[in-house]
Amino acid sequence: MLEGKKILITGGAGFIGSNLAEYFLRNNQVTVLDNFSTGHMHNLAEHMDNFDFQLIEGDIRNLEDCKKACEGMDIILHQAALGSVPRSINDPITTNQVNIDGFLNMLVAANESSVLRFVYAASSSTYGDSKILPKTEDNIGAPLSPYAVTKYVNELYASVFSNLYDLEIIGLRYFNVFGRRQDPNGAYAAAIPKFISSFLDLKSPIVHGDGSQTRDFTYIQNVIQANELAAETTNPEAFNQVYNVAFGERTVLLDLIKKIQSLLSQINPAIGKVDIRFGPERIGDVKHSLASIDKAKRILGYNPSHSVAKGLDEAIEWYYKELTAK
């Protein structure tokens, strides 16, 4: 149903955005808008000679960049944001500017360009201090970080624009996404690629806290599926809604690390002897997380294809090839 549509992916040089670009370029014209503050050109290099691909280097904080990117688009997959709870605590102003001002700019530009569908990346951080498990979309707590505040404000703006301007808007609350192209480097790198990279370098990975925290880790292929379903649905019940995007299974962080170590030690037995180090808990982190994906299943037809185990197998194979080739 999406074949031939013009799709704009903001943040398309990043981890999730570049995977979406690769997938939708099979049957669509894809434009990427990115300022490369956290994304990388090498994530898009293979598409630069593709007639159906266009790159706009711009910033969602600039309304004119947003308007230029939205011209003639049918569907927007808005992934651009400054992620990371610690980053938002260290620099709440920039996080707010990108995640709230930039989001509003994109909504305004999409409305002015009469875009058919606006699908955006929401976040499980919106559940805040709610201790109820599993997390259901209509039951959230108080935000625990500036990042969580910005993602919740996105949902509020999306609802207002959907009601006022009759836009078809869908939010996807991602739960701890991992997979190929997720950057293992930098101060705010995500846990799984950081663990993999550390083990491959025979360095001790650092766990924040005692490792008993739980997460609903979600492989990138499940996120791609959710975006496709949200972009193509014709179910009127689907719009002006947010959906959990997860696998629906809790994983203890320490168990995850040991699983990664075990898989990598099959490649290099020395990895099995690397010690795991423990550091202080991070301020603003949610202790336990588990998603109910019933709503996404019922309304969007979401059916995640990759468990954590299957996703880890694919991710580790990709990282091993990438990191050892450098």
Dmax (CA) for the chain in angstroms is 60
Query: For 173-203, b where at least 16 C-beta lie within 10 A, e where not — what string?
Result: bbbbbbbbbbbbeeebebbbbbbbbbbbeee
Asked if residue 312 has pLDDT above 80, the reply is yes
* Long-range Cβ contact pairs of 279-284 (< 8 A, separation 24 or more): 279/206, 279/207, 279/208, 279/209, 280/208, 280/209, 281/208, 281/209, 282/85, 282/86, 282/208, 282/209, 283/86, 283/89, 283/145, 284/85, 284/86, 284/88, 284/89, 284/144, 284/145, 284/147, 284/148
DSSP letter at 288 equals B
Angle at 207 between CA 204 and CA 211, to 5 degrees: 130
Which residue from 147, 109, 130 is spatially nearest to 8, judged by alpha carbons? 109
Reported as a pLDDT band with limits 50, 70 and 90, residue 326 is low
- Per residue in 203-260, pLDDT (tens digit) is 999 998 899 999 999 999 999 999 999 999 999 999 999 999 999 999 999 999 999 9
Q: How far apart are CA 121 and CA 118, in angstroms?
A: 10
Q: What pLDDT is attached to residue 320?
A: 86
pLDDT attached to residue 286 = 80
In this prediction, what percent of the chain has a pLDDT beyond 70?
98
Q: Which pLDDT tens digit goes with each residue over 185-215?
A: 866 668 899 999 999 999 999 998 899 999 9
Instruction: Tell me whether residue 317 is in a domain.
Output: no
Question: What pLDDT band is residue 1 in, cutting at 50, 70 and 90?
Answer: confident
Spatial separation of the C-alpha atoms in residues 34 and 37, rounded to whole Å: 8
Contact 12, 18 (CB under 8 A): yes
C-alpha pair distances (Å), 155 with each of 97, 119, 306: 16, 11, 27
pLDDT of residue 190: 82
Q: What is the pLDDT of residue 5?
A: 94
Residue 265: per-residue pLDDT:
94
Q: Answer whether residue 171 is part of any domain.
A: yes
Asked, for residue 203, whether it belongs to a domain, the answer is: no
Mean pLDDT of 96-121: 97
Q: HSE of 187 in the Cβ direction (CA atoms, 13 Å)? A: 5
**3-state secondary structure (DSSP) of residue 244:** strand
Looking at the structure of the chain, the number of domains it has is 1
165 domain residue, yes or no: yes
Say if residue 290's pLDDT is above 90: yes
Q: By the 8 A CB rule, do 33 and 13 touch?
A: no
Return d(Cα 305, Cα 309) in angstroms, integer: 11
DSSP for 56-71 reads EE--TTSHHHHHHHHT
Question: Please, what is the average pLDDT of the chain?
Answer: 94
Report pLDDT digits (tens) over 133-146: 999 999 999 999 99
State the catalytic residue, choosing from 120, 127, 147, 243.
147
Residues 6 or more apart whose CB falls under 8 angstroms from that of 193 comprise 178, 182, 183, 184, 315, 319
The whole domain housing 98 covers 6-178+219-246+291-305
Q: Scan for tokens 């996105």, then name that residue.
A: 154
CATH number of the domain at 19, please: 3.40.50.720
Q: Is residue 121 part of a domain?
A: yes
Q: What is the mean pLDDT of residues 308-315?
A: 94
Confidence class for position 284, pLDDT limits 50, 70, 90: confident
Q: What is the pLDDT of residue 309?
A: 94
Neighbours of 280 (CB within 10 A): 8
Q: How far apart are CA 77 and CA 245, in angstroms?
A: 15
- DSSP element (H, E) containing 191: helix 191-200
Q: Is residue 282 part of a domain?
A: no
For 20-74, the pLDDT digits (tens) are 999 999 999 999 999 999 999 999 999 999 999 999 999 999 999 999 999 999 9
In a domain, 266, yes or no: no
What value does the mean pLDDT take over residues 153-164? 97
| Assigned token pair, 142 | 């108080």
Residue 286 included in any domain = no
Query: Does residue 147 carry a catalytic annotation?
Result: yes
